[in-house]
Amino acid sequence: MSANGAVRRSECAMSPEKAVFLFSPGRSTEGAHAPSDGAATKRGPNFSQTADAPCPARSAIIPSMASLRETLARTRTSIFSRVQTLLGQADITNDTWDELEALLLQADVGAATSTKLLERLRERTRAEAILKADALRTALKEELVRLLEPAGAAAPLDYRATRMLEVMLIIGVNGAGKTTSIAKLSRLYTDKGRKVLLAAGDTFRAAAIDQLQIWGERAGIDVIAGKMNSDPGAVVFNAIQAAFARKSDLLIIDTAGRLHTKHNLMKELEKIRNVLQRNVHGAPHQTLLVVDAANGQNAIAQAKGFAAAVGVTGAVLTKLDGTPKGGVAFAIVSELGIPIHYIGTGEKIDDLERFDAHTFVDGLF
Ligand SMILES: Nc1nc2c(ncn2[C@@H]2O[C@H](COP(=O)(O)OP(=O)(O)O)[C@@H](O)[C@H]2O)c(=O)[nH]1
Ligand SMILES: [Mg+2]
């Protein structure tokens, strides 16, 4: 039970009713499944399910404001609390603007986004005759929310299935948190009643395939994988066939974050997209770029490379826990023009929350 009384999913019993399937080309996908009792016993330190704690109703595990505040604690205490102090009761002076800009930059909001934000605020102080810093603070919070809610942005994937098979393609640099986020997403959507299948499309490193299989095994979700260095396009094709055969309604695809050259990586992602487009109507339905918040402004440069090469529909912002660089959220939406759909709040399988701009901004102050 967490401090605010909400029952966390990691405290409830997880039924390992599904086996993990290893796909080898030329063999039946059902031919190499792990014993189902293996799934029940191989649980890592991040899984603290107990046999006797029943799973709570979904309403009890909806992310709370309190847990988001906890996640944003470092960003808030290191920087935004100083914005709060700066924008106290005093009159607005030139120093107020200079200090506000300096704090936004320190919070990794980025130069371009800070400039845009300050321009909007100056405009509002003129138009609304704002003289006091506390009124500016209210305007700042409103403008921060506005930055995070770009007009015409795609919505995250509905919990309810809207077609026979939906596909989420997960991309991003190595170490950003793709595989971990896939495990979390599969748990989230499985809890909502979806039948999820995972595809180990990062065939560049053997460890990446193993990692996804271990997560799948722990969460009781099937994984389609090939051998190391096998063609990820073929793995994805096989996963699509398996998804149709097993009547899965959500296929989530892991991809490599690094190949020998960046050019190769983008070509490979393009090939995966082509396989999806040819075989599933409208796929990929979501292409999520995973971004590590702790990389701050460096993450923006990396993300721009991916966004330019592959159509991205939304971002997963990971590792917000334990970083003071949470302000990077504003730069991602403003500079890349993509909405944030989910945030990673820790390393456990239930440490993922649907992003909400108002809750996020409230959590910063
Ligand atoms: N604290 C924290 N760690 C995370 C989060 N997401 C991922 N990680 C950690 O980041 C590391 C890299 O994650 P991984 O999923 O392997 O990244 P990938 O290379 O993009 O697939 C792992 O140690 C994860 O446990 C998060 O939201 N919070
Ligand atoms: Mg990975």
Q: For the whole model, what pTM was predicted?
A: 0.83
> Ligand 1 — pocket residues by CB below 6 A?
172, 174-180, 257, 290, 318-319, 321-322, 344-347, 351
Where are the alpha helices (H) located in the chain, listed in sequence order?
A: 36-41, 65-71, 73-75, 81-86, 94-106, 111-127, 133-148, 178-191, 206-219, 232-245, 262-279, 296-309, 328-336, 357-364
pLDDT in tens, 313-324: 999 999 999 899
pLDDT at 7 (0 to 100): 35
Residue 85: the pLDDT is 93
- Mutation pick for ligand 1 pocket among 180, 205, 269, 349 (CB with most ligand atoms within 8 Å): 180
**pLDDT-derived band at 63, boundaries 50, 70, 90:** low
Cα of 259 vs centre of ligand 2, distance in Å, is 13
Q: Is the pLDDT of residue 94 over 90?
A: yes
pLDDT band at 64 (very low <50, low <70, confident <90, very high): low
169-202 pLDDT tens trace: 999 999 999 999 999 999 999 999 999 999 999 9
Q: How far is CA 73 from CA 86, 142, 363, in A?
A: 18, 20, 8
Across residues 336-348, what is the average pLDDT? 96
What's the token pair of residue 145? Answer: 């929310």
* CA separation, residue 115 to residues 81, 141, 274 (Å): 20, 16, 39
**Among protein residues, the one whose CA lies closest to atom 19 of ligand 1:** 175
Q: Encoding tokens for residue 10?
A: 């990691």
Ligand 2 centre from 287 Cα, in Å? 16
Of all ligands present, the nearest one to the C-alpha of 183 is 1
Distance from Cα 292 to the centre of ligand 1, integer Å: 8
Tell me which of 40 and 287 has the higher pLDDT: 287
CA of 209 to the centre of ligand 2 (A): 8
What's the half-sphere exposure (Cβ side, CA atoms, 13 Å) at 215? 29
Q: What is the pLDDT of residues 130-145, one digit of tens each?
A: 999 999 999 999 999 9
Q: How confident is the model at residue 306 (pLDDT cuts 50, 70, 90)?
A: confident
Separation CA 316–CA 188 (nearest Å): 14
Measured distance between the N- and C-terminal CA atoms of the chain, rounded to whole angstroms? 26
Q: How far apart are CA 136 and CA 189, in angstroms?
A: 40
Confidence (pLDDT) at 37: 33
What type of residue is 177? Answer: G
- Residue 77 · residue 90 · CB < 8 Å: no
List the residue whose alpha carbon is closest to atom 17 of ligand 1: 177
pLDDT level of residue 259 (50, 70, 90 thresholds):
confident
Mean of all residue pLDDT scores within the chain: 84
Distance 88 CA to ligand 1 centre (A): 38
In terms of pLDDT, which residue wins out, 309 or 321? 321
Query: What is the spatial distance between Cα 171 and Cα 270, in angstroms, rounded to a whole number?
Result: 11
Q: Which atom of ligand 1 is nearest to the CA of 351?
A: 27
Tell me, what's the pLDDT at 119?
Answer: 97
Given a cut of 60, whether residue 51 has pLDDT beyond it is no
- 207: burial class by Cβ within 10 Å (0-12, 13-18, 19+)? exposed
